[in-house]
C-alpha cells in the first residue's frame, strides 16, 4: 500500500503527509530575543519540552528574566497559579498556546504544534542558528521520506513496516533526555499505536521486564533514539536476545542529513522523522494520521484557564 501513491493519497484524507512536507521553514511567528534567565513549564502538547530543551534553558521556573508557559491543554488549573507566582516573583511571563488561555502567542492545537513551540523558543533564547541547522536537515529528510519515494529507498516507510502490529519500545541516552516521552505521544496521536518507554534508568527496567513472559518480546521493537552511550550499548546487547528487533533512530537517518550536536535542535529533527514513520504506520492500519475526535474532546475538557 505505501508504494501506491494514489492509494496513499486517497487514504490520507486530511492531507497530513502534505502538511508534513510543508512544515520545515514554515514558522512565521515572533523572532525577538527575550531577557535571561529562561524558565519553561509546559502542559499537554508542550509537556516534556523543558527536559528536551534544557540546554536552551536555565530552570523550569525562574524568578527573574523570562518565564515561558506552554498552555496547550491538560493543565487542570495548574497554569494560572504558576503564571501569577512567576509574575509576583519578578519574571516576565510569556504564555504560548491555545486561545482559551489568552496567550501572548497563539499556537493552534494539533500534532504539529511542537514545531511552532520549539521554533519560537529557539529565537527567544538565542538559538536561531541551531534552529536554522535543524530546518536545513529537515528539508533534506523531507525529500527522502515523502510518499512518492518507494519503501526500498524510504527509511521512514521501512521502519513503519518493521513496527506494524508490534509495540515500539523507546529508549534514549541521557544526552537526549525527554525524547522517548515526546516520541511516545507522536506514535499515539499520529501513529495510533501504543509505544512504551523504560524511564530514566532503562537498564534497571529492561533487565527483568521480559523474564516472567518471554513471549512478550516477540512483539516488541526497540528504537534507540538519538546518541548512543554506554548505557544504550548495554541496553541493545541485553535486548538483542529478548525482543524481535532493535532499530536506531538517529542522524544521519537512512543516510540522509548529518548529525546535529545541539540536543534541542536534534530533538526537533528526530521528532520530524518520527512523524513520517508514525503517519505511515497509521495508514498501514487504514487510519487517519491526525488527532482522534476523542483526543480533541479531552483536550478541550482539560483546558482550565
Judge if 60 and 177 occupy the same domain.
no
- pLDDT bin (cut points 50, 70, 90) of residue 100 is confident
> Taking 70 as the threshold, does the pLDDT of residue 205 lie above it?
yes
Inside any domain, residue 138: yes
pLDDT over threshold 80, residue 209: yes
Beta bridge partner(s), residue 197:
170
pLDDT at residue 5, as a whole number: 83
Mean pLDDT for 231-254 is 95
Lowest mean pLDDT among 11-15, 172-176, 301-305: 301-305
pLDDT band at 303 (very low <50, low <70, confident <90, very high): low
Give pLDDT, residue 129.
98
Judge if 50 and 66 occupy the same domain.
yes
Whether residues 194 and 97 fall in one domain: no
Domain annotation covers residue 225: yes
Specify whether 188 is located in the same domain as 261: yes
Q: 67 and 183, same structural domain?
A: no
Looking at the fold, whether 60 and 95 belong to one and the same domain comes out as yes
pLDDT-above-90 percentage for the chain: 78
**Is residue 232 a part of any domain in this protein?**
yes
Q: What is the pLDDT of residue 291?
A: 86
* Lowest-confidence region among 102-106, 192-196, 291-295: 291-295
Closest listed residue to residue 290, CA positions, set 278, 302, 305, 299:
278
> In this structure, are 241 and 170 located in the same domain?
yes
Spell out the SS3 assignment of 90-131.
CCEEEEEECHHHCCCEECCCCCCHHHHHHHHHHHHCCCHHHH
The continuous run of DSSP H or E covering 241 comes out as none
Q: What is the pTM of this model?
A: 0.95
72: phi then psi, degrees, rounded to nearest 5:
-125, 45
Asked whether residue 23 is assigned to any structural domain, the reply reads: no
Round the average pLDDT of the chain to a whole number and report it: 93
- Alpha-carbon distance of 98 to 104, in angstroms, equals 10
Residue 122 and residue 134 in one domain: no
Residue 185 lies in a domain: yes
- E runs forming strands in 98-228: 105-106, 167-172, 196-197, 220-225
Distance CA 179, CA 167 (A): 17
Q: What is the per-residue pLDDT across 255-266, written as a single tens digit (0 to 9) for each?
A: 999 999 999 999
Is residue 54 included in any domain, yes or no? Answer: yes
Confidence (pLDDT) at 305: 52
Q: What is the pLDDT of residues 156-203, one digit of tens each?
A: 999 999 999 999 999 999 999 899 999 999 999 999 999 999 988 999
162 is a domain residue: yes
Asked if 237 and 279 sit in the same domain, the reply is yes
Residue 162 contacts residue 283 (beta carbons within 8 Å) = no
pLDDT at 301 over 80: no
Range of the domain at 265: 130-284
Tell whether 76 is covered by a domain. Answer: yes
Same domain, 66 and 156: no
The CATH number of the domain where 271 resides is what? 3.40.50.10490
Q: Are residues 122 and 141 in the same domain?
A: no
Give how many domains the chain has, as a whole number.
2
pLDDT at 222: 97
222 in the same domain as 185: yes
Percent of the chain residues past pLDDT 70, beyond the cut: 98
Amino acid at each position: 500500500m505505501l508504494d501506491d501513491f494514489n492509494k496513499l493519497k486517497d487514504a490520507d484524507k486530511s492531507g497530513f503527509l502534505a502538511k508534513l512536507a510543508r512544515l520545515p521553514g514554515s514558522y512565521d511567528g515572533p523572532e525577538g530575543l527575550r531577557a535571561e534567565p529562561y524558565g519553561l513549564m509546559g502542559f499537554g502538547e508542550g509537556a516534556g519540552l523543558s527536559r528536551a530543551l534544557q540546554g536552551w534553558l536555565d530552570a523550569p521556573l525562574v524568578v527573574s528574566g523570562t518565564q515561558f508557559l506552554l498552555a496547550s491543554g491538560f493543565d487542570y488549573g495548574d497554569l494560572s497559579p504558576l503564571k501569577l507566582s512567576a509574575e509576583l516573583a519578578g519574571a516576565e511571563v510569556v504564555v504560548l498556546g491555545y486561545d482559551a488561555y489568552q496567550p501572548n502567542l497563539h499556537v493552534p492545537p494539533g500534532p504539529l504544534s511542537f514545531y511552532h513551540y520549539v521554533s519560537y523558543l529557539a529565537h527567544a533564547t538565542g538559538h536561531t542558528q541551531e534552529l536554522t541547522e535543524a530546518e536545513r536537515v529537515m528539508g533534506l529528510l523531507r525529500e527522502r521520506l515523502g510518499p512518492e519515494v518507494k519503501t526500498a529507498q524510504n527509511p521512514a516507510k521501512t521502519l513503519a513496516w518493521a513496527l506494524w502490529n508490534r509495540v515500539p519500545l523507546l529508549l534514549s541516552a541521557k544526552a537526549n533526555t525527554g525524547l522517548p516521552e515526546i516520541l511516545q505521544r507522536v506514535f499515539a496521536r499520529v501513529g495510533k499505536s501504543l509505544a512504551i518507554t523504560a524511564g530514566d534508568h532503562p537498564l534497571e527496567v529492561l533487565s527483568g521486564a521480559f523474564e516472567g513472559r518471554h513471549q512478550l518480546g516477540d512483539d516488541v521493537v526497540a528504537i534507540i533514539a538519538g546518541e548512543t552511550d554506554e548505557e544504550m550499548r548495554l541496553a541493545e546487547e541485553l535486548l538483542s536476545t529478548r525482543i524481535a528487533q532493535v532499530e536506531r533512530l538517529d542522524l544521519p537517518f537512512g543516510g540522509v542529513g548529518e548529525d546535529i550536536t545541539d540536543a534541542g535542535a536534534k530533538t526537533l529533527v528526530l521528532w520530524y522523522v518520527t512523524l513520517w514513520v508514525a503517519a505511515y504506520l497509521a495508514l498501514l492500519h487504514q487510519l487517519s494520521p491526525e488527532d482522534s475526535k476523542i483526543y480533541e474532546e479531552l483536550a478541550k475538557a482539560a483546558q482550565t484557564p
